[in-house]
Amino acid sequence: AAPGLWSRLQKRVGLHSPFVLLPATSGLGSYKNPDLVLSALQHPALKSVQLVLCGVGAAQRAEEFEQHAPALQGRLLSAGLSDPELALAYRYALAVLIPSRIEGFGLPVIEVMAASGVPLIADSRGLREAGAEAAPRFDPDQPSQLVALLLLLLDDHSRQWFRARLQPRVYERLQRLHP
């Protein structure tokens, strides 16, 4: 069922690889820090990467973000996703970006790891605790650090190496959580 669902989702949303997912975001200048992602994705080496927004207000945010970052026009998608679709998007995304400056806990980080996705998180309170040593971090004020991580993941060889190193850490992190 998953391959068929994934194929239908790709067609419905207009997804192609590579893409990154920005879940449940807020407006520019907010603590959710989408500004950092928009800045990073304007890097010339990332021009093939789509940005998918999901969650409440995703369509409104997509319009706002395209106005702020015209270089992303045609690469920015909004999608309403069911839980099974979201789990597949987490798994097939190049990475799921969680750039918040602060979070209470960072449950999406755990959800991404449980779905076999790669979370890239801001080095901030809440996210750091949720991801522990299993989620690569970047400075929430340094788009260049996010660019470097995304470039690493774009290369097939380094992505395989990276995921192989993260997998045991993710397993260990998930085992320490109570269902």
Single pTM value for the model: 0.94
Q: What is the pLDDT of residue 66?
A: 93
Cite the beta strand spans of the chain per DSSP E.
19-23, 50-54, 76-79, 95-98, 119-122, 137-138
Q: What is the pLDDT of residue 150?
A: 98
Q: What is the pLDDT of residue 24?
A: 80
Cite the beta strand spans of 38-150 per DSSP E.
50-54, 76-79, 95-98, 119-122, 137-138
Q: What is the pLDDT of residue 1?
A: 59
Give, for all 179 residues of the chain, the pLDDT tens digit.
567 899 999 999 999 999 999 998 789 999 999 999 999 999 999 999 999 999 888 999 999 999 999 999 999 999 999 999 999 999 999 999 999 999 988 899 999 999 999 999 999 999 999 999 999 999 999 999 999 999 999 999 999 999 999 999 999 999 998 77
